[in-house]
Amino acid sequence: MTAAPLERTVPADDADVIVVGAGPGGSTTAAALASSGLDVLLLEKTGFPREKVCGDGLTPRAVRSLISLGVDISEDNGFIRNRGLRILGGGVRIELPWPELASFPDYGLVRPRLDFDELLARTAQKAGARLQEHTAVTGPVLDVAGRVVGVTAKVGPAGSPRLDRQFRAPLVVAADGSSARLALTLGIQKRDDRPMGVAVRRYFESPRHDDDMLESWLELRSGNGDLLPGYGWVFGVGDGTSNVGLGILNTTTAWQKTDYKELLARWTGSMPGEWQFDEAHATGPVRGGALPMGFNRTPHYTRGVLLVGDAAGAVNPFNGEGIAYAMESGLLAAEVAAQALARPSGPARERALQAYPTHMKAVYGGYFTLGRVFVSLIGHPQVMSLATRYGLPRPLLMKFTLKLLANLTDPRDGDALDRVINGLSRLAPAA
């Protein structure tokens, strides 16, 4: 007599890891996990190509992660190189080449997010991750102990009939951007003691499209003439257009009172007409987005969920850079997850997963603390004015500032500036 098959009481897992969000952080995580041999399901709420508010500039820190992923960063593949940062403010114009370091390349890149994110998502696919677009995650699936064992989602393009689905995995990575919807459903709230920024940008047809320097303008002023904590940028995209935008911090009393689209229009209207940063040469609307900075959402691991990139508030408070930290936190999350999933479920696996927030704090905590102090200081117009007026004319100080703001130092055998910055980061409490 043949025994009847056992009835399944627990649904089969759909993957070893579910990654929510196919931005730079999620796709990098998925690519690294798939490369380690794990079955990865990468869920993206929209379809590619898709827009994303960003300056499109990639510092050498971001370039390093692209190289690690094996991404073709050649000009033939749509990237344009830049050799440093041009800063304008206080009547001074200074060009600072990216530093020559052992740890980072000495060049940056520009690539529109419209296809940059898709490039990384396809890189994850090539590594073996299963990308599912038009899949909007709506919440977690919990076991009887309250641990996350999957996600619920609505599947299908927006505006069409959508199916309710459930996907299961022993581990979930939340890389769903500044909205951090999955973290919010788990009760992980935004920290009000951490800085936030807002960025707006617009593309213009411009003869400056092939500029080989990223350009930063430090004198953005409110309607009453006060200096604002933040900067404007002009980044040549190389395709006949420039990405022109600005970012402002919430450490100013003008935070809630500023019309950022109007500020952008007023700023670009003051520029030379031959640059074509005007309505007639705009290729699309002004778009804006939030910049969650300095670990403004913690803990970075809880109940089977790892937070990566903007969902973890991992935007650099010094300069508003998010892509590099999204990719780096993704690589770190993938390393921790691979080690954890090699252990049996239970206390041993949990110990491995708890290492993720510890590593995040060790790598970025002290530096982000310095960044929070910095943004608090420049929130005062007088401090911003003094820094612009007296700091910019001093080349050595500006070289130090570039390394500090872009987080570009060699951890060992660096120069005196590197040792000062690294020392300050180690001494600052990693809160």
How confident is the model over 293-346, as pLDDT tens digits? 999 999 999 999 999 999 999 999 999 999 999 999 999 999 999 999 999 999
CB atoms under 10 Å from CB of 124, counted, come to: 27
Q: What is the DSSP letter of 274?
A: G
C-alpha distances (whole Å) from 353 to each of 15, 39, 128, 180, 312 are 18, 18, 23, 20, 15
For tokens 């970025």, what's the residue?
364
User: Tell me, what's the pLDDT at 9?
Assistant: 40
User: Tell me, what's the pLDDT at 390?
Assistant: 62
Residue ranges of the chain with per-residue pLDDT less than 50? 1-10
CATH number at residue 113: 3.50.50.60
Alpha-carbon distance 30 to 16, whole Å? 11
Tell me whether residue 243 is in a domain: no
Q: Which of 210, 198, 224 is nearest to 289 (CA)?
A: 198
Q: How many folded domains does the chain comprise?
A: 1
Main-chain phi, psi angles of 305, to 5 degrees: -125, 130
User: Tell me, what's the pLDDT at 3?
Assistant: 40
Tell me whether residue 149 is in a domain: yes
Alpha-carbon distance 162 to 155, whole Å? 5
The span from the first CA to the last CA of the chain, in angstroms, equals: 65
Q: Are 250 and 276 in contact (CB under 8 A)?
A: no
pTM (2 decimals)?
Answer: 0.94
Tell me whether residue 287 is in a domain: no
Alpha-carbon distance 289 to 26, whole Å? 18
CB atoms under 10 Å from CB of 144, counted, come to: 6
Tell me whether residue 181 is in a domain: yes
CA-based radius of gyration for the chain: 22
Tell me whether residue 115 is in a domain: yes
Pairing of strands 17-20, 171-174: parallel
Q: Which two tokens stand for residue 114?
A: 């419209």
The stretches of 23-106 forming alpha helices (DSSP H) are: 24-35, 60-69
Alpha-carbon distance 84 to 405, whole Å? 13
Q: Are 59 and 316 in contact (CB under 8 A)?
A: no
For tokens 């890149």, what's the residue?
109
User: Tell me, what's the pLDDT at 379?
Assistant: 76
Helix/strand/coil for 25: helix
Pairing of strands 214-217, 230-236: antiparallel
Tell me whether residue 101 is in a domain: no
Pairing of strands 17-20, 40-43: parallel
Tell me whether residue 323 is in a domain: yes
User: Tell me, what's the pLDDT at 1?
Assistant: 37
Give the chain's mean pLDDT.
92
User: Tell me, what's the pLDDT at 306?
Assistant: 98
The stretches of 208-310 forming alpha helices (DSSP H) are: 260-269
User: Tell me, what's the pLDDT at 104?
Assistant: 97
Tell me whether residue 27 is in a domain: yes
User: Tell me, what's the pLDDT at 365?
Assistant: 96
Q: Which of 423, 368, 384 is nearest to 193 (CA)?
A: 368
Give me the domain span that covers residue 335.
17-84+109-192+296-370
Q: Which two tokens stand for residue 298?
A: 């913690």
Alpha-carbon distance 119 to 123, whole Å? 6
Helix/strand/coil for 57: strand
User: Tell me, what's the pLDDT at 11?
Assistant: 57
User: Tell me, what's the pLDDT at 253?
Assistant: 73
User: Tell me, what's the pLDDT at 7?
Assistant: 37
